[in-house]
């Protein structure tokens, strides 16, 4: 197992963290990861992360839900068991489609929402019984942690992160 050193710069305010991220990127340091107790608006852009493609997946999953709803209602209400409900015979899907719109909407949303959550968990490698990866428990409560690989002078990096507003800076060996 190869070990390398990383700096854990801990902040106690999200605005100070955002400023520190901008300073760190301006100083050409690579930010490995940031652990926060809640989502920080704009942090992904400040870190230079690529935009997520989850919205594209949501659209595709919604289309699958719409197709399933259409095929299901056509089979159930038109082909398999047509019924005369309220004097409206079921001769074709198109004649009855206005009555089917709420079901189409609901299944579109159902498929998009549930499959997006599953995709997010799989993409983030978060499955049941997985051990937490937080390096510091305080990041689940009220602190923010920026993890940066150590390249070069440790003392200079330590002082740099203290100057960005970190309340604590630790140098740790991280196993790969």
DSSP for 14-25, please give it. HHHHHHHHHHHH
pLDDT of 28 higher than 70: yes
d(CA 26, CA 16): 15
Say which residues have a Cβ less than 8 Å from residue 148's Cβ, sequence separation at least 6.
6, 7, 9, 24, 29, 30, 31, 32, 157, 161
Phi-psi region for residue 44, left (φ > 0), alpha (ψ -120 to 50) or beta?
alpha
Indicate whether this model's pTM tops 0.85.
Answer: no
d(CA 19, CA 168): 16
From residue 118, give the alpha-carbon distance in Å to each of 44, 62, 67, 122.
22, 14, 20, 6
Average model confidence (pLDDT) across the chain: 89
At residue 17, the pLDDT reads 94
**Taking the chain, what is the end-to-end CA distance rounded to the nearest angstrom?**
6
At residue 1, the pLDDT reads 40
At residue 159, the pLDDT reads 92
β-bridge partners, 5: 173
Q: Is 24 exposed, middle or buried (0-12, 13-18, 19+ CB in 10 A)?
A: buried
Quick one: what percent of the chain has pLDDT higher than 70?
97
CATH top-level class of 3-12+22-37+142-175: alpha beta
Q: What share of the chain is helix, strand, coil (3-state, %, to 5)?
A: 50, 15, 35
List the domain boundaries for the chain.
Answer: 3-12+22-37+142-175, 54-123
């Amino acid at each position: 197992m190869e070990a390398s050193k990383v700096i854990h710069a801990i902040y106690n305010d999200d605005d100070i963290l955002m400023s520190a991220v901008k300073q760190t990127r301006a100083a050409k340091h690579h930010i490995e990861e940031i652990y926060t107790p809640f989502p920080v608006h704009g942090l992904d852009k400040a870190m230079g992360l690529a935009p997520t493609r989850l919205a594209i997946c949501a659209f595709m999953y919604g289309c699958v839900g719409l197709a399933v709803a259409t095929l299901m209602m056509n089979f159930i209400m038109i082909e398999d068991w047509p019924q005369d409900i309220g004097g409206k015979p079921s001769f074709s899907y198109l004649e009855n489609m206005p009555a089917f719109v709420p079901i189409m909407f609901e299944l579109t949303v159902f498929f998009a929402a549930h499959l997006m959550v599953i995709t997010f968990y799989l993409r983030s490698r978060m499955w049941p019984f997985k051990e937490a990866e937080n390096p510091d428990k305080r990041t689940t409560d009220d602190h923010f942690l920026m993890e940066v690989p150590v390249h070069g002078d440790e003392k200079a990096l330590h002082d740099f992160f203290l100057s960005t507003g970190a309340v604590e800076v630790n140098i740790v060996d991280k196993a790969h």
